[in-house]
Amino acid sequence: MIEAELKARVHNSEYVIGRLDQKTVGRAEVYHDTYYDDPSRSLEAQDQELRVRTIYGANSTRSVLTYKGTRIDSASGSKPEHETRVDNPEAVHAMLRGLGYVPVIAFQKRCQNYEFSSRGRSFLATLVQVPEIEGTFLEVETMVTEEKELSAALEDIQSIMGELGVQEGDFTTELYTDAVAACLVSDEGASPPA
């Protein structure tokens, strides 16, 4: 599967929330993300990601293991994605460490998620705040099975984001991992722990 996704900075969160509330009921969740790599950082060098995420919601907690391959669209940052639910995240953390992977960065995302259908697709729109990063972000994503479907999916996402008030200059492909790492370097005057 390929995650077709666009991300933008939000300048008027209330407007975006109001528009999304017209589509569906949102749910507040907190993500605890830990990204892994080998000591030589070969995954990062190949633009790949290996992540354990635990999601805390109002009524449930769940965890997923995610691998994202190299970007297939540089303008959006869209990547092939493989994800599976895990019942015991601590065991997965131990397995990854046992295989020689090390946690390279961990952070929290405070999310308001909205799932809805439009244009014949299922979408997830997420308003995101990361404590280390200033501002609020909007992510809109859908999954496609083949690369040839990506362009049309991204056009649909861009249209939805336009309806939510996103302007052309608001889009960004900066990764949260990079922004958090840069903040840690700025705050500590040294590289983040590997």
Give me the domains of the chain, ranges plus CATH numbers: 2-187 (2.40.320.10)
With H, G, I as helix, E, B as strand and everything else as coil, classify residue 191: coil
Query: Virtual CA dihedral for 18, 22, 25, 27, nearest 10 degrees?
Result: -30
DSSP code of residue 87: S
Q: What is the pTM of this model?
A: 0.91
∠140-141-146 over CA atoms, to 5°? Answer: 150
Say which amino acid occupies 180.
Answer: V
pLDDT tens by residue, 145-180: 999 999 999 999 999 999 999 999 999 999 999 999
Report the alpha-carbon distance of residue 190 to residue 194 in Å, rounded.
12
Locate tokens 């190299």: which residue? Answer: 70
Report the alpha-carbon distance of residue 100 to residue 136 in Å, rounded.
35
Long-range contact set of residues 144-153: C-beta below 8 Å, sequence gap at least 24: 144/1, 144/2, 144/4, 145/1, 145/2, 146/2, 147/2, 147/72, 149/2, 149/4, 150/2, 150/4, 150/72, 150/73, 150/78, 153/4, 153/121
Residues 6+ apart with CB under 8 A from 126: 111, 112, 113, 114, 138, 139, 140, 141
% of the chain at pLDDT higher than 70: 96
pLDDT for res 149: 96
- Mean pLDDT value across residues 106-128: 97
pLDDT tens by residue, 39-94: 999 999 999 999 999 999 999 999 999 999 999 999 999 999 999 999 999 999 99
| Average pLDDT score, the chain | 94
